[in-house]
Structure 1
Amino acid sequence: MAASSERSSYDYIIVGGGIAGCVLASRLHEKLPAVSILLLEAGKEAIGHPLTNAPLACFGIHHSDLDWDFSTVPQPHLNNRICYQAAAKALGGGSSINYATWLRGPKVDYDRWAKLVGDDRWSYDKLLPYFEKVGHTNGNDGVIKTRSTSASHDDRKYPLREIVRKAWESAGLQYNPTPNDGDPRGITELVENWLEGQRQFAHRLYNLDGVDVLTEAAAARILISAEKRAEGVQLLDGRTFHAHKEVIASSGAFNTPKLLLLSGIGPKEELQKHGIQQLVDAPEVGRNFHDHPAVALIWKLKDENLRLPMSAIGTNPAFGLGLPADWVVFSGMDKDLISAALAKDGLAASDEEYLLDGSNCYTETLNVYAPAGAVHAGMDIPFDGLHISTPVLGMLPTSRGSITLSSSDPTAAPQIDPNYFATELDRVMMRNGVKKALQAFEEWADLNVTEVPPEGYPALSVKSTDEEIDARVRRVANTFFHPAGSCAMGKAVDADLRVCGVDGLRVVDASVLPTPIAAHYQYCIYTLAERAADCIVQG
């Protein structure tokens, strides 16, 4: 999978060898075997890297050589904190560094996507064949093999499993056995795409034989002709490659808008700030950025008999098959709370109609038998089996941020502004999710836990005020690594993923998502890339 040193032109050049880029390159070669394809990846091969060998190693990938290790600008609604932003810098992209959780998301979110762009090809029902082609829960007939926690091994039984389930039932949630069938609401079992405790790398599952692949080949800009056509790509080292048919940007929600802006495709005022000549007026490039914020609640068990012995992870092979977790909870929200927040935000009537839909999943709460999220919250919590966590995610954020340039230097990091919690609805959504977790964990007596606050903050309980919860959110909230929307379909690209105002240029990655999906995005992005291949082949 190495590109010829003598070849300088191809039919298709794909910039970014992450999940989307690998799937797209593989499918284009399969469907159009006569065409030539170059796949460029700024990172290196991750197979065999010590941090990609086992599920628990994924926590060590943050800030490593496989991570772009970005940061946000100060966030005004989070005490002006600068927040960490992870992004894969490796062939295989997210499949090389993610936590391998497998959640498709609700039908209602995909249907809204289709409605926003005026094209039902992006609706849930029309995407369903692609979802099924990619993978099934507890199934072997898709490209990706997935398993729920309990189905992965008979001995993978965490001590708190039934207690945590009953805790959530006491808070009014019901068990949902089919979270990946379009309605994940309720208590669902974690589904993962670890396979016997090993990663399933996108560039291994999707055959790249016949595709020229260059790793450690970062792009500096896309070459645009006077006729506003993408003609090729220039790398940081000065090498250029020409594209006869198309250039496809698949560099992710951070680096794709950065690449377009560096290439003179974007809003004039943004380009002028950095002395870049505007070649294509594209005011929506870098706008509409959204992300799933998370607030990790840390709990300490009082009963030593309920702890997950850390030694068991090493001695019991079943505990090495995935993350130390088993339940995921998707929650709705009271319509009165939503209406009151919407009134303060003054959103459009169409947004109000969508956000009041009773089938929405507003928050997701993971139940992890380790202090997940503590490090990113700046809390020093021991990995001792007695400290567990419930990260609460805001799944339908209405806040919108931006990805812009920090410099005209292509080696400089983009300027990332998620604008977390800028709307009342986002604040109410997270507050409501935290309250549900507090209710579940404090009303079930057998759980017998205490909430562990950051230094200088009171422990939270069902008696905590809204102000105390909001203060905690401002102190610890961070990303859950689902950046999207910065080259949104219906704004920066059309429904065929073509960049508006440029011929021969498409975007295929999470940056095209026009609206948040209550999912973990790898499943969505595999499906997006499968669909995109057909868009390209069908013209």
Structure 2
Amino acid sequence: MAETSSTSSYDYIVVGGGIGGCVVASRLNEKLPDASILLLEAGKDPVGHPLTSAPLACFGIHHSDLDWDLLSVAQPHLDNRVCYQAAAKALGGGSSINYATWLRGPKVDYDRWAKLVRDDRWSYENLLPYFERYGGSDSVIKTSSTSHSHQDRKYPLRDLVRSGWESEGACHNSNPQKGDPLGITELVENWNEGRRQFAHKVFDLDRVEVLTEAPTARILLSETNSGTKTQRAKGVQLLDGRTFYARKEVIASCGAYNTPKLLLLSGIGPKEQLKQHGIHQVVDAPEIGRNFHDHPAVALIWKLKQEKLGLPMSAIGGNPAFALGLPADWIVFAGLDKNQEGQCLLDEKNCFTETLNVYAPAGAVHADMDIPFDGLHMSTPVLGMLPTSRGSITLSSNDPTAPPRIDPNYYATELDRTMMRAGIRRALQVFQESTALKDVIDTEVAPEGYPVLTTKSSDDEIDARVRRVANTFFHPAGSCAMGKAVDSELRVYGVDGLRVVDASVLPTPVAAHYQYCIYTVADRAADFIADTGN
């Protein structure tokens, strides 16, 4: 990272030093070596922070100084609960705080995306050259499946869990990164021998000027000289009043919560919302903050009959290989049965749910359930990967330090309810009735006041459980959607010299682990920008 200089003018200003911001700044630096680039990050450099030093520390990052620690508004379809929303407040963004799970997602999702925005450059086939730069032992981001990370990293229930899922119809998928992840497959992570791969360390920022702990208050706009009254992004103003100017482009990479917030604070958005907060509308952009989507998760907690089958903390201390990643090995991707609502209208390669098999009570804390990490409990979080519910990100105030108003609108559609019920029923079948696991599991652990779920539970009972425990799996996206708020080259409609490069541009959900998507989106974006800048 370059030494801080006294200049206030740059060719490119990137606002937000997360995965998208670090990749686009680094790639522009590589492609346009004579260009001056400023990267601004509201948080600090987390390298050396005790919570980023080891994989299992990632659970402690929630609500820490590396987390914006946001909340949703009350969710009407989740018993009016307010849901926790994590967001990285650190250089490196998600790469500094995430769980490091790594899946590209299905071909059909990217092809649907390309069709939706009428630009085949976003199809799976045309993104392949970008995908293939990431993941594997020799690429810029090192990845490994659980079993390949270390020969001693074999969890006690590994074989039984696989057998249980396969006996209930989940086919083994040995290569989920090739565009069809359906079936049971090994968890792939991007821990590198148990260490985080921070985006700002993996990608070369040596000639990029980086300012940390430098939150941005607004984007500065001015009319172009073309006579069309089109606005142009000319720079940014920080919260402390410092101003920096961009000769070519401003690139917003603040994430699905904070990028729409920044644009709205800058007068780019729907008139009525801006007027409500006393902000003068500079650009009429009604889609800023709309189309928000997220992957909801429902954690089923299982009590085991024997402690030695789970993963008590003492086991981790006794086997260093268990500390190389999450206490998990298998994940299962599933569609819907042909006779279930909606599936006949959709592609048979759709992955509607992802189920993780975690040898610890993952998800219990976020569901307000007090379950000990004692080796007697494990969990199967069921994720809704293709939600049709849409929410919004709006302002809570015209104060730049105020959090955005987050409304995911979880579980609002019947198709979402159908998908989640099917995923939960599938997990209940495997863990309660499969030959491999029925004698291993003592019981499904219900929240206080709720019945234990079984395969005989009604839709109403499953829906009641979802309303009680569902939460985000930390994949917020879509709030500056391609084809709605930005064009297919990520340029904000109505503003010259302003792009968005983060998860907010995803026009539709992808059944993926979003860090992989964002590395790819940012790399693709850098080519767009460099082609314009040459």
**Shorter-normalised TM range:** over 0.9
Secondary structure of 2:443's aligned partner: strand
Secondary structure of 1:538's aligned partner: helix
Structure 1 pair 505–242 and aligned structure 2 pair: CA distance change class (3 A): same
Secondary structure of 2:456's aligned partner: coil
Does residue 151 of the first structure (1) align with residue 154 of the second (2)? no
C-alpha displacement at 1:142, in angstroms?
1.4
Match of 1:48 in 2: 48
**How many angstroms apart in 2 are the aligned matches of 1:335 and 1:414?**
40
Query: Partner amino acid for 2:354?
Result: E
CA contact (8 A) 2:312 2:373 kept: no
Secondary structure of 2:177's aligned partner: coil
**How many angstroms apart in 1 are the aligned matches of 2:222 and 2:288?**
19
Match of 2:511 in 1: 518
Does residue 231 of the first structure (1) align with residue 234 of the second (2)? yes
CA contact (8 A) 1:298 1:390 kept: yes
C-alpha displacement at 1:140, in angstroms?
2.1
Does residue 416 of the first structure (1) align with residue 416 of the second (2)? no
CA contact (8 A) 2:19 2:93 kept: yes
Secondary structure of 2:340's aligned partner: helix
Match of 1:172 in 2: 169
Number of residue pairs matched?
523
**How many angstroms apart in 1 are the aligned matches of 2:317 and 2:475?**
30
C-alpha displacement at 1:3, in angstroms?
5.3
Match of 2:77 in 1: 77
Match of 2:15 in 1: 15
Query: Partner amino acid for 2:303?
Result: K
Query: Partner amino acid for 1:53?
Result: S
**How many angstroms apart in 2 are the aligned matches of 1:450 and 1:397?**
29
Secondary structure of 2:493's aligned partner: coil
* Corresponding residue to 2:360 among 362, 370, 386: 370
**How many angstroms apart in 2 are the aligned matches of 1:2 and 1:248?**
19
**How many angstroms apart in 2 are the aligned matches of 1:251 and 1:219?**
10
Match of 2:522 in 1: 529
Match of 2:494 in 1: 501
Match of 2:243 in 1: 240
**How many angstroms apart in 2 are the aligned matches of 1:424 and 1:229?**
42
C-alpha displacement at 1:337, in angstroms?
1.7
* Corresponding residue to 1:198 among 187, 195, 198: 195
Secondary structure of 1:449's aligned partner: strand
Match of 1:257 in 2: 260
1:231-310 equivalences in 2 (<5 Å): 231-310=234-313
C-alpha displacement at 1:5, in angstroms?
4.6
Match of 1:346 in 2: none
Match of 1:440 in 2: 430
Does residue 395 of the first structure (1) align with residue 385 of the second (2)? yes
**How many angstroms apart in 2 are the aligned matches of 1:304 and 1:409?**
51
Query: Partner amino acid for 1:419?
Result: N
Match of 1:37 in 2: 37
C-alpha displacement at 1:392, in angstroms?
0.2
Q: Please give the TM-score of this superposition, normalised by the length of structure 1.
A: 0.96
Match of 1:449 in 2: 442
**How many angstroms apart in 2 are the aligned matches of 1:409 and 1:307?**
47
C-alpha displacement at 1:261, in angstroms?
0.2
Query: Partner amino acid for 2:361?
Result: P
Query: For structure 1, which segment, 272-281 or 442-451, has the greater mean C-alpha deviation from structure 2 after superposition?
Result: 442-451
Match of 1:349 in 2: none
Query: Partner amino acid for 2:217?
Result: A
C-alpha distance after superposition, 1:231-282 (max 9, x if no partner): 0000000000000000000000000000000000000011000010000000
CA contact (8 A) 1:2 1:214 kept: no
**How many angstroms apart in 1 are the aligned matches of 2:310 and 2:221?**
59
**How many angstroms apart in 2 are the aligned matches of 1:56 and 1:201?**
16
**How many angstroms apart in 2 are the aligned matches of 1:33 and 1:7?**
18
CA contact (8 A) 1:102 1:193 kept: yes
**How many angstroms apart in 2 are the aligned matches of 1:207 and 1:108?**
33
Match of 1:357 in 2: 347
**How many angstroms apart in 1 are the aligned matches of 2:143 and 2:76?**
40
CA contact (8 A) 1:3 1:38 kept: no
Match of 1:487 in 2: 480
CA contact (8 A) 2:234 2:246 kept: yes
C-alpha displacement at 1:463, in angstroms?
1.0
Match of 1:98 in 2: 98
C-alpha distance after superposition, 1:155-207 (max 9, x if no partner): 00000000111111122111100011100000010000001111010000001
Structure 1 portions without partners, runs of 5+:
343-351
Query: Partner amino acid for 1:335?
Result: K
Secondary structure of 1:27's aligned partner: helix
**How many angstroms apart in 1 are the aligned matches of 2:490 and 2:282?**
19
C-alpha displacement at 1:538, in angstroms?
1.5
Does residue 473 of the first structure (1) align with residue 466 of the second (2)? yes
**How many angstroms apart in 2 are the aligned matches of 1:358 and 1:303?**
39
C-alpha distance after superposition, 1:329-357 (max 9, x if no partner): 00010233223xx9xxxxxxxxx84xx21
**How many angstroms apart in 2 are the aligned matches of 1:257 and 1:447?**
48
**How many angstroms apart in 2 are the aligned matches of 1:387 and 1:2?**
48
Query: Partner amino acid for 1:474?
Result: R
C-alpha displacement at 1:314, in angstroms?
1.7
Query: Partner amino acid for 1:33?
Result: P
RMSD value over aligned CA atoms?
A: 1.0
**How many angstroms apart in 1 are the aligned matches of 2:25 and 2:442?**
49
Does residue 185 of the first structure (1) align with residue 182 of the second (2)? yes
C-alpha displacement at 1:52, in angstroms?
0.3
Match of 1:208 in 2: 205
CA contact (8 A) 1:164 1:447 kept: no
**How many angstroms apart in 2 are the aligned matches of 1:3 and 1:265?**
33
**How many angstroms apart in 1 are the aligned matches of 2:138 and 2:81?**
45
C-alpha displacement at 1:311, in angstroms?
1.1
**How many angstroms apart in 2 are the aligned matches of 1:385 and 1:7?**
56
C-alpha displacement at 1:448, in angstroms?
2.6
**How many angstroms apart in 1 are the aligned matches of 2:490 and 2:310?**
49
Runs ≥4 residues deviating over 6 A: none
C-alpha displacement at 1:449, in angstroms?
3.1
Match of 2:227 in 1: none
Secondary structure of 1:456's aligned partner: coil
Query: Partner amino acid for 2:424?
Result: V
Secondary structure of 2:178's aligned partner: coil
